[in-house]
Amino acid sequence: MTYLKQIEKIMKKNFNVYSIALDWTPNVNHIGFIVGKEKGFYKELGIDLVIQTPAEDDYKYSPAKKIELGISDFGLCPTESLISFRTKKNPFKLYALATIFNKDISAIAVTDKKNIKRPCDLDGKSYASYGARYEDLIVKQLIKNDGGIGNIKIHYPKRLGVWNTIKENKYDSTWIFMNWEGIEVSNLRLFKLKDFNIPYSYSPLIVASSKLINDKKDDVLSFLKATKKAYLYAINNIDESAKLLFKYLPEADKQIDLKKALNFSIDYFGYAENFGKIETGVLARFLKWLNTNELEKKTFNVNDLYIELDF
């Protein structure tokens, strides 16, 4: 064994291995984790990051469930998952640590081939659902807020195939990220929740269990610092970062214009002064909205779901 190999072996022993469960197959939303791994930002802070994708188990478990089962240390999930795991029969304490986007970058989408001009036109039409907690109720409320009845027909295709059902015109609508599916397909009509009085919260959030946060706080902070550094690097090095992301993409996504997707995302990612920052008012308004519209009976304070760490 050469001297350099011996040093490399010793260095590897000094890394703490942590995993993150992505909420979808690798895409522009995850670029920071990929850049951080490829550029060595995590290892600079003593972390060997393992990136897990739902393609590995065909979405058998959600990221939040993987954390509960001990399969993953960190995960990406919407605010709704935090509430869902607190309100189930055997509650599990997940906490939000940071947000990927500082404002909602999602929308309900239909192709412009459909005679659907507004959310109220979705009455009697079909929706491809991911089966997430509150998802279907939020979509129905969107229709009602636009003067409709909310009698949309909900379908539950295979999770990783939801988007394909829209591209193939099998169903009329679904929920997308404007910076990904919205870049792939240009002829989409988008209904943003905020335009119809729905104060949607953050998605995705970086989450972890209370146990990890309490037991490994220094490592959690190192993970967050490296993640922030990586996203900021991606913002400032678009060509290089797009090439790094490309290697991780599923074959079906390799035709998407990555630089366009990243440029679209920049303002939503935020910058050095606010990347990852969760505004408690955003969480509070969404929690209140869920209660007011009777989508959730149990009430939560922001501090029940979010732990603020300085990174």
Residue 7, pLDDT above cutoff 50: no
309 inside domain: no
Q: At 253, is the secondary structure helix, strand, or coil?
A: helix
Residue 114 reports pLDDT greater than 90: no
**What pLDDT is stored for residue 12 in this prediction?**
54
- Percentage of the chain surpassing pLDDT 90? 93
Residue 77 and residue 245: Cα distance in Å, rounded? Answer: 20
Average pLDDT on 132-146 reads 97
For the cut 80, the answer to whether the pLDDT of residue 297 exceeds it is yes
- The C-alpha atoms of residue 173 and residue 79 are separated, in whole angstroms, by 22
The continuous run of DSSP H or E covering 127 comes out as strand 126-128
For residue 311, being part of any structural domain is answered with no
Please tell me the pTM assigned to this model: 0.93
Instruction: Quickly state the pLDDT bin for 14 (edges 50, 70, 90).
Output: confident
Quote the CA–CA distance of 149 and 110 in Å, as a whole number.
Answer: 18
CATH number of the domain encompassing residue 176: 3.40.190.10
If asked whether residues 213 and 146 sit together in one domain, one would say: no
List the one residue out of 24, 31, 52, 18 whose CA is nearest residue 240.
31
- The predicted model gives 80-106 an average pLDDT of 96
Q: Are 97 and 309 in contact (CB under 8 A)?
A: yes
Q: What is the pLDDT of residue 8?
A: 52
Question: Which of 148, 168, 196 delimits the end of a domain?
Answer: 196
Q: Give residue-wise pLDDT tens across range 40-59.
A: 999 999 999 999 999 999 99
Overall number of domains in the chain = 2
Whether residue 158 sits in one domain with residue 16: no
Whether 206 and 165 map to the same domain: the answer is no
**How confident is the model at residue 13, as a pLDDT?**
60
Q: Which domain holds residue 162?
A: 106-196
Say whether both 94 and 113 belong to one domain.
no
Helix ranges restricted to H, the chain: 3-13, 31-38, 41-44, 63-69, 79-87, 135-145, 162-167, 181-184, 210-215, 217-236, 238-246, 258-269, 280-292
Q: Are residues 98 and 206 in the same domain?
A: yes
Please tell me which residue, 2 or 103, carries the higher pLDDT value.
103
Q: Are residues 59 and 240 in contact, defined by beta-carbon separation less than 8 angstroms?
A: no
Cβ distance 215 to 40 under 8 Å?
A: no
Q: Taking Cα atoms as reference points, which of 96, 25, 27, 26 lies closest to residue 265?
A: 27
